[in-house]
């Protein structure tokens, strides 16, 4: 654990303010759920909670199925990082933070399909080798949970109609799974 040197008091309602710098660094937005952990030494640990992250194994199976169906690399991310990736990109992208452009695309809640001449969107902020071909947001009970992606390596690859439809189906299915 890393000390920040910041000390906050608990108010009369039991609230603690997380400083803006930490919220920005950790990409914590208003309304984001946080999990609270304790240990026997009296430490409290706040961790961002990812509902779609709970479906990590399931998301990995969906990515592998999409890969087998289309022979294209697929991924599922929550609002902050990639939680499942198929194909050769797995080692380089799994659990890496999503790019700012992909984050903004998800926040817009609209599907995306790269076509010739379009701007390339990097998948991760730590790796510009992979780009988004297709992105469909995962929505559950009106809340943005993440995104289903088809990704291309190196030069851009336009998203096909089949990839677009399969990503829509997978995003809808994941959204329904989180409602249960």
**pLDDT tens digits for range 121-134:** 999 988 888 999 99
pLDDT confidence of residue 25: 80
Task: Look at residue 156 in the predicted model and tell me its pLDDT.
Answer: 65
Percent of the chain, pLDDT > 70? 97
Q: For residue 173, what pLDDT is reported?
A: 93
Q: Give me the phi and psi of 43, to 5 degrees please.
A: -85, 140
Q: For 92-111, write each residue's pLDDT tens digit.
A: 999 899 999 999 999 999 99
Q: Is residue 119 scored above 90 in pLDDT?
A: no
Q: In which band, very low, low, confident or very high, does the pLDDT at 60 lie, cut at 50, 70 and 90?
A: very high
Average pLDDT, the chain: 88
> Which pTM does this prediction carry?
0.77
Contact 99, 81 (CB under 8 A): no
pLDDT at 52: 74
pLDDT, position 67: 95
The contacts of residue 153 (CB under 8 Å, 6+ apart) are 73, 88, 89, 129, 130, 131
Q: What is the pLDDT of residues 40-50, one digit of tens each?
A: 888 888 887 77
pLDDT for 126-179, tens place per residue? 888 899 999 999 999 898 999 999 999 876 678 899 999 999 999 999 999 888
């Amino acid at each position: 654990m890393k000390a920040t040197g910041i000390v906050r008091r608990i108010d009369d309602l039991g609230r603690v303010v997380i400083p803006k710098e930490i919220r920005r660094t950790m990409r914590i937005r208003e309304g984001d759920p946080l999990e609270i952990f304790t240990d026997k030494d009296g430490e409290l640990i706040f961790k961002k909670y990812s509902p779609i992250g709970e479906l990590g194994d399931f998301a990995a199976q969906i990515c592998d199925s999409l890969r087998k169906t289309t022979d294209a690399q697929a991924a599922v991310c929550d609002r902050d990082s990639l939680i499942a990736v198929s194909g050769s990109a797995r080692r380089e992208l799994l659990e890496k933070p999503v790019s700012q452009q992909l984050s903004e695309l998800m926040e817009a809640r609209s599907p995306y399909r790269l076509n010739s001449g379009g701007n390339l969107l990097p998948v991760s902020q730590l790796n510009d080798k992979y780009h988004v071909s297709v992105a469909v947001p995962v929505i559950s009970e009106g809340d943005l949970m993440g995104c289903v992606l088809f990704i291309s390596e190196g030069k851009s690859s336009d998203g096909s109609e089949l990839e677009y439809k399969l990503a829509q189906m997978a995003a809808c299915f994941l959204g329904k799974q989180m409602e249960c």
